[in-house]
Amino acid sequence: MTETARNVREALLAELVGDVHLMLDRVEGLGGTLSAIDGRCHETARALDAANTAYREQLDDLMARLRVEFATVVTGTTEQAARAMVGQQTVVLQRSATAALRNALTHENVKRAKADWLRLVAAGAVVGGLVATAVMFIGARVF
């Protein structure tokens, strides 16, 4: 080996050792910085957790209010629909009853009802006359 190569090799090794020493100093300096960063990360994580908890509470409160509002809307809509259905049913029933009465009270049906009524009155008169005659006959025999 030549003297120059040896001096270059030693110079490179000396420079390498210096660079390694400088790097070790920086790593040791980072140890404190890393612990500070680690502490800040833990603080940030706690702050994010607290913010998440507050957000969830607000969201739960909002959902509870939405459920109440939705139930109110559904109830109101159901009542309105029920009222509308009852009104429609009333109209249909009134029309049906009117049509049924019109069909039942035709001129021919009225004439037939009058004839039936007259027959019943005549039959009642005949029965009444027979009963009166029987009472008089029995009364005449007994007294």
Q: Note whether 112 and 100 are same-domain residues.
A: no
Structure tokens at 142: 């007994």
Average pLDDT along the chain, 143 residues, taken 10 residues at a time: 69 81 76 68 85 90 92 89 84 84 74 85 88 84 70
Q: How many domains does the structure of the chain reveal?
A: 2
Its pTM stands at 0.39
Domain shared by 70 and 125, yes or no? no
Distance in angstroms (rounded) separating the CA atoms of residues 36 and 27: 14
Co-location of 96 and 115 in the same domain: no
Which pLDDT score, from 0 to 100, does residue 36 have? 67
Determine the pLDDT at residue 15: 83
Tell me: do 34 and 84 sit in the same domain: yes
What single-letter DSSP state applies at residue 132?
H
If asked whether residues 13 and 78 sit together in one domain, one would say yes
The reply to whether 137 and 73 lie within a common domain is no
Interatomic CA distance for residues 107 and 113, integer angstroms: 10
Q: Helices marked H in 3-106 — which ranges? A: 3-104
State whether 85 and 46 are in the same domain.
yes
100 and 115 together in one domain: no
Residues 21 and 63 in one domain: yes
116 is written with which tokens?
Answer: 């039936």
| The predicted structure's pLDDT at residue 139 | 77
pLDDT at 4: 64
Whether 125 and 136 map to the same domain: the answer is yes
Do both 136 and 66 map to the same domain? no
| Structural domain span for residue 78 | 3-105
